[in-house]
Amino acid sequence: MTSASQTADPKSARDHARAMAGMRAAAMPTLPASAARDLPPGVAGGDMLWEETIAAGGYASRQLSRGSRLRLVDLEGDACVSLLVFNAERPVERLNIADTLKVQWTGYLGEGRLLLSDMGRVLASLVEDTSEGHDGFCGASNQASNARKYGDGFNHGAHPNARDRFTLGVAKFGLGRRDIHPCLNLFKPVRVAQGGEAMVEIGPHPPGRHVTLRAEMDLIVVLANCPHVLDPRPEYGSTSVRASAWRGPVTPPDDPIRNATPEGQRAFLNVDDYYAR
């Protein structure tokens, strides 16, 4: 070795660390969010709350205020975003997939549908959806299921699983294994055949598909971007996803999604009732 170490003493190590400033990676957040590079149509930079590109196999968790919008873009067509949603103020209230499907009399979520909590309230509305569908049935991959397919499923390895990613995402908000509830998988449609068979349309799908959620309560959202648990491909099929959030008004009483069904109307009434204080 002829080159001298750049990190032999604290001041050199500091300079070495500081020299990294300004580096860019494919997956990273934009700070401040007002400098967002991918502004949603009609949104001013000053209204942006969050922009982050989440890597294949990556995760993120974030608090969002009531009324804000969250857009998730499947940048390259092979993202599978597993989603947990909590009431930020009282996280013991969380997304209930069974109620979400049963109350809306459907197994397939899409634009205009609601994500319902276990307390009979709307956590979020799906205000925009250009994908072919989603999956409320199959849930998150785990270490064992990834190990069977890819050789290992460790969080620290090359094939992280969605459940471990959730564990990390919820931990950042003080939540634990007991809080990882049944999830919704975005961008990988699962349909049910007449014999009950669950069939995934794994893709890859066209790039640029997106969903936009409107927060109907103050939320914690946890995103894990790992291959779908039923992905049949031997390689770890996952591509990056961009999360963008911005400020928006609380849903008004005459909102068409709010008034689309009697069940939904009552779920919004329950939200109003919760915020009566």
Partner 1 sequence: MPTPPPLSGAIVHDEVVAARAPWIHRVNQGQTLRIVDLEGNQAVDFLMYAAEDDAERYSAQDTIAAQRNIFLREGSTLLSNEGRPMMRVSATAVAYHDTIGGACSCESNTLRYGHHTKSQHACVDNFLVANATQGRGKRDMVSNVNWFMNVPVEADGALGIVDGISAPGLYVDLEALMDVTVVVSNCPQINNPCNGFNPTPVRMIVAG
Nearest distance from C-beta of residue 141 to partner 1, angstroms: 8
Question: Backbone phi, then psi, for 50, in 5-degree steps?
Answer: -165, 130
Query: By C-beta, is 8 or 144 nearer to partner 1?
Result: 144
Stretch that binds partner 1, among 8-16, 23-31, 62-70, 93-101 (CB under 8 A): 93-101
Q: Which tokens in the block code for residue 263?
A: 């069940």
User: What is the C-alpha to C-alpha distance for residues 118 and 181, in angstroms, rounded to an integer?
Assistant: 11
- Least distance CB 148 / partner 1 (angstroms): 9
Which residue matches tokens 């909102």? 255
Among 194, 252, 256, 277, binds partner 1 (CB under 8 A): 194
Positions in 27-86 near partner 1 (CB under 8 A) = none
Q: Amino acid identity of 16?
A: H
Q: Which is nearer to partner 1, 36 or 230 (CB)?
A: 230
What sign does the CA torsion over 130, 132, 135, 141 have?
Answer: negative
Question: C-beta of 261: minimal distance to partner 1 in Å?
Answer: 9
- Amino acid, single-letter form, for residue 204: P
Establish how many alpha carbons lie within 13 A of residue 169's alpha carbon, considering only the half-sphere containing its beta carbon: 28
Closest CA to 182 of 133, 222, 214, 148: 222
Residue placing its CB nearer to partner 1 in the complex, 76 or 111: 111
Give the number of other Cβ atoms within 10 Å of residue 60's Cβ.
23
Residues 127-156 that bind partner 1 (CB under 8 A): 137-140, 142-145
Q: Determine, following the binding rule CB under 8 A, whether residue 230 of this chain makes contact with partner 1.
A: yes
- Size of residue set near partner 1 by CB under 8 A: 49
The correct pick among 42, 197, 234, 276 for binding partner 1 (CB under 8 A) is: 197
Ramachandran bin of 230, using left for φ above 0, alpha for ψ from -120 to 50, beta for the remaining angles: alpha
> Site mask, partner 1, residues 167-186, x = CB under 8 A?
---------xxxxxxxx---
Q: Which of residues 94-113 bind partner 1 (CB under 8 A)?
A: 96-99, 101-103, 105-108
Using CB under 8 A, which of 229, 243, 257, 271 touches partner 1? 229
The label of the residue with tokens 């634990």 reads 176
Residue 136: name the closest of 188, 69, 67, 212 by CA: 188
| Through-space distance between the first and last CA atoms of the chain, rounded to whole angstroms | 68
Return residues touching partner 1 (CB under 8 A).
Answer: 92, 96-99, 101-103, 105-108, 116, 118-121, 137-140, 142-145, 163, 176-183, 191-192, 194-199, 229-230, 263-264, 266-267, 270
